[in-house]
Amino acid sequence: MKANNLACPIDGQPLALEQRQLSCAQGHSFDLARQGYVNLLPVQHKRSKNPGDSKEMVMARQRFLNTGLYAPVAQCLSEMLRTNIGPGREHCVLDAGCGEGYYLDYALHYLEEHFDLADLSFIGLDISKEAIFEAAKRNKIISWLVGTNRQPPIIAGSVDTIVCVFGFHSFQGFHKIMRLGGKLILVEPGLDHLQELREVTYSEVKKSAPTNLDEAFAAGFTLIEEKVLRFKTESIKNQPLNDLLMMTPHFFRASKEGKMAAANLNELVLTVDMVFRTLEKTGLTDEGVEKI
């Protein structure tokens, strides 16, 4: 486990790694799993027995992302990360709600061509144990954690960049662990995202806008950049189409007839419409003094 800024999820004290165990000064300890990840989600932070994405959803997402159809999204995100990282300085990147690790793994391979990996630390955090189990198989350099974005088990002020791709965001949780001036990159669906699939699964297609940022502004973030990535995919066959449906909220929202219609599709060309917004942590420091 390369990350040296992990915090005890029970009392927030720094965690130190000894042998295959992370412990805090109060004696709370967490074993490294054989696969290399660590579970930092205490039962009191759980709202259900198995929170987050199920095994079935994780495997569908992994199959779909491995087709490379969303590689332009990963590429765009990686290029944005590159512009945030100063050469020769240590930089910690957190993927909050990382799923089975596709985007962070892609970014690491992209960034290692431009920076010395010794200066970079990558943390992937997800509340789903099933997702982190798969992520830990994908990449052995990244520090993979089971935990919640509401109370990320990371030392306050120690993260330089957070990415949150279709993730569950907690602006207060993110603000606490970021350094002043750190960046939060939110990637969310735009109005026309997967329009063609939604036309098949819903009798009436509603357009929903990306998250309103008022909560982020109240937590102490400022919006500094917004950009859109739009492209048409190649023709997608039945299996990846159904994997895609399974990994989106449309699977749960669609009617039985809508799901049947999608299951019977032979192929479809889709519009990918993603919004990338960069927010900066500004305002008071955690001590309540300095401003930038």
Contacts with ligand SAM, residue ranges (CB under 6 A):
52-53, 61, 97-99, 102-103, 125-128, 131, 148-150, 165-168
Residue closer to ligand SAM (CB basis): 16 or 209: 209
Nearer to ligand SAM, 126 or 243 (CB): 126
Task: Give me the phi and psi of 61, to 5 degrees please.
Answer: -65, -40
CA–CA separation, 34 and 40 (whole Å) = 15
Least distance from C-beta 107 to ligand SAM, angstroms? 12
State in angstroms the smallest separation of the CB of 126 from ligand SAM: 5
Closer of 137 and 180 to ligand SAM (Cβ): 137
Is the CB of 168 or the CB of 231 nearer to ligand SAM? 168
CB of 95 to ligand SAM, least distance (A): 7
CB of 45 to ligand SAM, least distance (A): 9
Six token digits for residue 153: 């088990």
Interstrand relation of 178-189 and 159-165 (parallel, antiparallel or unpaired):
parallel
Supply the minimum distance, in Å, between the C-beta of residue 156 and ligand SAM: 18
Instruction: Return the number of the residue (85 or 165) whose C-beta is nearest ligand SAM.
Output: 165
Nearer to ligand SAM, 99 or 220 (CB): 99
172 closest CA partner among 216, 213, 210, 123: 216
The span from the CA of 20 to the CA of 32, in Å, is 5
Q: How far is the CB of 174 from ligand SAM (least distance, A)?
A: 11
Which of residues 8 and 58 has its CB atom nearest to ligand SAM in the complex?
58
**Which residue, 57 or 85, has its beta carbon nearer to ligand SAM?**
57
* Element spanning 163, H or E: strand 159-165
**Long-range contacts for 68-72 (Cβ within 8 Å, ≥24 apart)?**
69/233, 69/234, 69/236, 69/240, 70/102, 70/272, 71/106, 72/229, 72/231, 72/272
Q: How far is the CB of 266 from ligand SAM (least distance, A)?
A: 26
Mark out the alpha helices in the chain (DSSP H runs): 55-66, 71-84, 102-111, 129-138, 171-177, 195-201, 214-219, 238-246, 250-253, 256-263
Q: CB of 60: closest distance to ligand SAM in angstroms?
A: 11
- State both tokens at 37: 């990840």
Pairing of strands 236-237, 178-189: unpaired
Selection from 183, 176, 144 nearest residue 161 by Cα: 183
Q: Strands 91-96 and 120-126: what pairing? A: parallel
For the beta carbon of residue 107, count every other beta carbon within 10 angstroms: 25
